Amino acid sequence: RQQYVGKLKFASLEASQGSKKLVVATEKNVVAALNSRSGEILWRHVDKGTPEGAIDAMLIHGQDAITVSNAGRILRSWETNIGGLNWEMSLDTGSFQVASLVGLQDVVKYVAVLKKAAISLHYLSNGHQKWVEHLPGSESTQYQLLYSHGTGVIHVLGIVPQSHLNVLTFSVEDGEITKQVIRVAAPWLKSLNGVCSVVGDAVLVCVDVDTHSLYVCSLETEQEMKQILLQSLDLEFADGFQPRILATQPNVISASRTQFFLQLSPSHFSLLQYKHGLLSHLRDFQQAALVSFATTGEKTVAAVLTCRSELKPGSSDGLHAGSTLEDSRKQESLTCSNQTYNINLYLVETGQRLLDTTITFNLEQSGAKPQQLYIQVFLKKDDSVGYRALVQTEDHMLMFLQQPGKVVWSREESLAEVVSLEMVDLPLTGAQAELEGEFGKKADGLLGMFLKRLSSQLILLQAWTAHLWKMFYDARKPRSQIKNEINIDNLARDEFNLQKMMVMVTASGKLFGIESSSGTILWKQYLRNVKLGSSFKLMVQRTTAHFPHPPQCTLLVKDKETKMSFLYVFNPIFGKRSQVAPPVLKRPILQTLLLPIMDQDYAKVLLLIDDEYKVTAFPATKNVLRQLEEIAHSIFFYLVDAEQGKLSGFRLKKDLTTEESWEVIIPTEVQRIVTVKGKRSNEHVHSQGRVMGDRSVLYKSLNPNLLAVVTESTDTHHERTFIGIYLIDGVTGRIIHSSVQKKAKGPVHIVHSENWVVYQYWNTKARRNEFTVLELYEGTEQYNATAFSSLDRPILPQVLQQSYIFPSAISAMEATITERGITSRHLLIGLPSGAILSLPKALLDPRRPEIPTEQSREENLIPYSPDVQIHAERFINYNQTISRMRGIYTAPSGLESTCLVVAYGLDIYQTRVYPSKQFDVLKDDYDYVLISSVLFGLVFATMITKRLAQVKLLNRAWR
């Protein structure tokens, strides 16, 4: 199991050299502490996955972390050493704006929370509310900023867009407004966030792009804005860029620093100072990607991340500008040509660069840009400044760096959002491949074949001696020193094909190759041009079985907004982009189809159907097109339009055009299509039927073209809500079975396999989770035992149905799968608690009798009981729980008894399950000594008796 936290939203690095933890809050609604020496999770708290659990702010004071979540409704304090909850308070509703720690004299005692219409002050020690005050004029005024610096007052700044600013001053002691509301005219100001900041002793600095100037105003003494033109400092903004200000307040009980960063363009920052009414320019940073402030003791430094070579305009969007500067607008993106970056420290008072503080690092492997920068500064023994840096890149990778550029650790946080997954067999070893090659190619004549056999045998001998030598060498070492490191070079298939390559696609557009037995990331690839929210479909076109052709995977990426798609073809073992050029897709793709036909290089043919119902084949060689023409009459596909409630079937013509063959319309005003589930193409069915108690056979209805369509009512009232299920033949459009569960609602989880469908839903009347199972049978006689055709099925199958009560909600559900389908099937059910339950399919059998008869006992049918119990011994992951599980993937192994399982969500977990126990493997406690001694004894006894018999025969002959 591997655990993740997700993309960082807030992070705090303790400012001491010996500190061991980083406290982080993430976009996955997780609060966690990471070990700063190894990157491991020390503790982690996972909140709800919905917007209710979203963390809006995180403040750190000493050993406490204060978080505001659920749109400002919940205030929590965490003990950062062990992750315990100190206290939790629920706040009044209201749109959350900002939270801040508040100090009095020299002690930080309170935390202030600013909402749209009110401000409240809470004690840090227990969370109790000290006071709450309503903000005057909150209907028209947007209150967005909060500032205090230990003087016993809190300044709240509100803005009436394009009119004026309101400055309120509250007393910390009793919440009284101590000064009259100051109204400052600012007709050019639309918002305070990012545009304004407080520097020095409560001086508000705002930037205006139209007049190319800064405006300053002291919150305590002045009542109007003073304009300072930037031309006087020889600074100017980039066209169409919204400039931003980044200031720092190292301690809430003292004033902010008078220095601040002004961002003039995506890669241009200036360090300015406003002191005693004068604005001075300290330093210019031209090629800067990110900036950040950090403080240790009395020293405050500015960290600037720059590109070593020149920044060039790139093709992908969305570089966020700075550590605390979040810009939702897409900015002109900049790429660093050689992907090498420097971080330097500068003294804020003078803008002077500190010597020996450069960290250099390279992002060439991933090609992603840095997106966030967090700095941990400490004073060394000689009073010089040392620091470590935490960099988050746009592909959600975290890197913890120390001088002069050593990567202490890195974490791949994009794996907290796996969206697609496939398992690929590992390749053969060199020796095995050599043997394969010997039989796979026609050599020149007998002599050539003989020499080839000789050379391959020599290679095998060499490999065997190397293996023996390694075993002998390792036997002399202590076990702790033996390293079984897995890397791409020594990857090879094991005897029973239990180790596989897991190819994972994440929501950020990053691909991973992970070795299944150890969880080692062997390769990673970042697709830069993937936009957020894209959908992915991963298909294996060629496996490792076709040596010397490399395996090939194809990823279809579809943009959410433009609906346009592109194909990415790569080798799943090494992660390298394939030499094969995929077709350019000019139209949005609606459906993909992986056909069983192959080209001359053993790659399966992929059909792509666009929104004009035109078909593109990949690969599109002459051989493939000829094969397609021959089998076009038997290629059918379906399309689903959930918005219009339409399912339509198409057939392929010889000239690769399509024609509609059927259409089913489900009225959208009554119900909407939720899921359409077909059967898995790699599924094998071992038995054609079930032997009944009277020795007759009940034949399964095994229709490979069957689709299970789940619909949900649009009316959400608990009395009128329902769930519909339709079993539709994908070739003819014939509705084989339809049923409605009244007073039921989703989310619906469904598994469709062999001749059965299991789906789970929420019963609103009985207020419980229920399973319904459908099984399809042809009867005691088969219509056609040799071949199946959807076009020739006059008789509808018999449908058996039964429902069961399940005591828990469900996060994910999947059925086990094995190579030959002999092993009995189990349902793997992911529970919200993080456990995975392995439930025998026999428990969800619609033929379970209410009153057992002689025949049902003969058939080993369990008597019907509506409750399905959760037994702890059926959990396959014990204490290795998976937070926020999103899916379960199953794959067959080389052993018929064994099924490989991967569960993914916020964590990734891989294991093996044995639904029918390990019937094809000798047990661990198998007594080899006894069996071998008995065998040796028998052989020895045979030899002796043989000798005795010979002597006896000889003696008889002499008589």
Q: What is the pLDDT of residue 529?
A: 80
Percent of the chain with pLDDT over 70: 94
- Fill in the amino acid letter for 694: D
**Shortest CA distance to 583 belongs to which of 562, 554, 561, 604?**
554
In the numeric block, the tokens 């219409």 are attached to 117
Please list, in sequence order, all residues whose beta carbon lies within 8 angstroms of the beta carbon of residue 200, skipping any fewer than 6 positions away.
255, 256, 257, 258, 274, 275
Task: Give the integer Cα–Cα distance in Å for 780 and 775.
Answer: 15
Amino acid in the structure at residue 61: H
pLDDT at 312: 52
Q: Which of 179-188, 276-285, 428-437, 946-955 has the lowest mean pLDDT?
A: 428-437
pLDDT at site 493: 79
Angle between helices 445-475 and 430-440 (to 10 degrees): 170
pLDDT-based confidence at 938, cuts 50/70/90? Answer: very high
Over residues 489-499, the pLDDT tens digits come to: 677 778 888 88
CA–CA dist 394, 518 (Å, integer): 27
Residue 370 near residue 289, CB atoms below 8 Å: yes
Position 315 scores a pLDDT of 37
Tell me the two tokens of residue 34. 């990471």
Contact at 8 Å (CB) between 268 and 223? no
Q: Are 98 and 155 in contact (CB under 8 A)?
A: no
Q: What is the pLDDT of residues 641-656, one digit of tens each?
A: 888 889 999 988 888 8
DSSP 574: T
- Closest-CA residue to 846 (of 788, 771, 780): 771
> Quick one: average pLDDT of 434-451?
65
User: pLDDT confidence of 437, banded at 50, 70, 90?
Assistant: low
Nearest 5°: CA angle at 773, between 771 and 779? 170
Answer for the pair 489, 875: CB distance below 8 angstroms, yes or no. Answer: no
Q: Is the pTM of this model over 0.85?
A: yes
* Contact status, residue 540 vs residue 570, Cβ threshold 8 Å: no
pLDDT of residue 330: 32
Q: Which of 270-274, 427-431, 556-560, 765-769 has the lowest mean pLDDT?
A: 427-431
Q: What CA–CA distance (Å, rounded) separates 267 from 305?
A: 10
Contact 617, 603 (CB under 8 A): no
pLDDT for 257 beyond 50: yes
Output the six-digit token pair for 662: 């059927």
SS3 assignment for 719-776: CCCEEEEEEEECCCCCEEEEEEEECEEEEEEEEEECCEEEEEEEECCCCEEEEEEEEE
> Is 436:547 a contact under the CB 8 Å cutoff?
yes
Q: pLDDT tens digit string along 126-138? A: 889 888 888 887 7
For residue 870, the model assigns a pLDDT of 92
Is residue 322 pLDDT above 60, yes or no?
A: no
Which CA distances in Å does 265 have to 235, 270, 274, 331?
11, 10, 21, 9
pLDDT of residue 192: 82
Q: Tell me the mean pLDDT in the region 769-788.
A: 88
Residue 478 has pLDDT above 80, yes or no: no
Beta strands (DSSP E) in 213-333 are: 213-218, 226-229, 244-247, 259-265, 268-275, 278-285, 288-296, 299-307, 311-313
Q: Which strands make up the sheet holding 370-379, listed edge to edge?
A: 370-379, 385-393, 397-402, 406-412
Helix locations, 502-541, DSSP H: none
Q: Which of 39, 135, 124, 154 is nearest to 94 (CA)?
A: 135
pLDDT value for 323: 30
Question: Is there a cis peptide before residue 863, judged by omega within 30 degrees of 0?
Answer: no
pLDDT at 435: 63
Rounded-to-integer distance, Cα 22 and Cα 14, Å: 7
Looking at residue 514, its pLDDT comes to 92
- When pLDDT is averaged across residues 227-234 and rounded to a whole number, the result is 83
Over the range 543-574, which residues count as b (16 or more CB within 10 Å of their CB) and which as e?
A: bbebbeebbbbbbbbbbeeeeebbbbbbbbbb
- At 161-196, the pLDDT tens digits run 888 888 888 888 888 888 777 788 888 888 888 888
Residue type, 247: A
**Beta-sheet strands, E only, within 142-267:** 142-147, 153-160, 164-171, 182-185, 196-199, 203-208, 213-218, 226-229, 244-247, 259-265
The answer to whether 212 and 112 are in contact (CB under 8 A) is: no
Confidence of residue 486 (pLDDT cuts 50, 70, 90): low
Confidence of residue 675 (pLDDT cuts 50, 70, 90): very high
pLDDT of 32 strictly over 80: yes
Identify the pLDDT of residue 319. 30
Q: Work out the average pLDDT over 310-334.
A: 38
Identity (one letter) of the amino acid at 306? T
Distance of CA 526 to the CA centre of its chain: 14
Element (H, E) at 471: helix 445-475
311-325, 424-438, 879-893: segment of lowest average pLDDT:
311-325
Residue 684 per-residue DSSP state: -
- Among 428-437, 781-790, 925-934, the range with the most confident prediction by mean pLDDT is 925-934
Cis peptide upstream of residue 832 (ω within 30 degrees of 0): no
Predicted confidence at residue 902, as pLDDT, reads 95
Averaged pLDDT for residues 670-679: 91
Place of tokens 């039989």: 439
Q: Name the helix (H) or strand (E) containing 457.
A: helix 445-475
3-state helix, strand, coil in the chain (%, to 5): 10, 45, 45
Which residue in 831, 825, 789 sits closest to 809, CA to CA?
831
Between 104 and 850, the more confident residue is 850
The pLDDT of residue 318 is 32
**Better-predicted residue by pLDDT, 490 or 611:** 611
pLDDT at res. 889: 95
Contact between 735 and 726 under an 8 Å Cβ cutoff? The reply is: yes
Binned at pLDDT 50, 70 and 90, residue 735 comes out as: very high
pLDDT at residue 85 in the model: 92
Half-sphere CA count of 115, side-chain side, radius 13 A: 21
Given a contact cutoff of 8 angstroms between Cβ atoms, the answer to whether 408 and 13 are in contact is: no
Mean pLDDT for the chain overall: 86
Distances in whole angstroms, Cα of residue 397 to Cα of each of 12, 264, 327, 524, 708: 17, 27, 20, 11, 39
Return the closest-CA partner of residue 772 out of 727, 804, 740, 811.
Answer: 804
Lowest mean pLDDT among 236-240, 412-416, 750-754: 236-240
For strands 565-570 and 213-218, give the pairing. unpaired
CA-closest candidate to residue 384, choices 360, 358, 354: 354
How many CB atoms are closer than 10 A to CB 613? Answer: 17
Summarize pLDDT for 288-311 with one digit per residue, the tens: 888 888 888 778 888 898 887 765
pLDDT value for 612: 86
Mean pLDDT of 214-234: 83
CA distance 402 to 358: 9
Decide if 155 contacts 168 (C-beta within 8 A): yes
- Low-confidence winner among 248-262, 305-319, 336-350, 504-518 (lowest mean pLDDT): 305-319
Distance, in Å, from the CA atom of 268 to the CA atom of 287, rounded to the nearest integer, reads 6
Over 90: is that where the pLDDT of 831 sits? yes
What is the per-residue DSSP string for 365-420?
TT-PPEEEEEEEEEE-TTS-EEEEEEEEETT-EEEEEETTTEEEEEEEGGGGGEEE
Nearest to 424 by CA among 313, 557, 570: 570
Q: Which pLDDT belongs to residue 314?
A: 45
pLDDT interval class at 325 (50, 70, 90): very low
Say yes or no to pLDDT of 432 above 50.
yes
Higher pLDDT, 529 or 836: 836
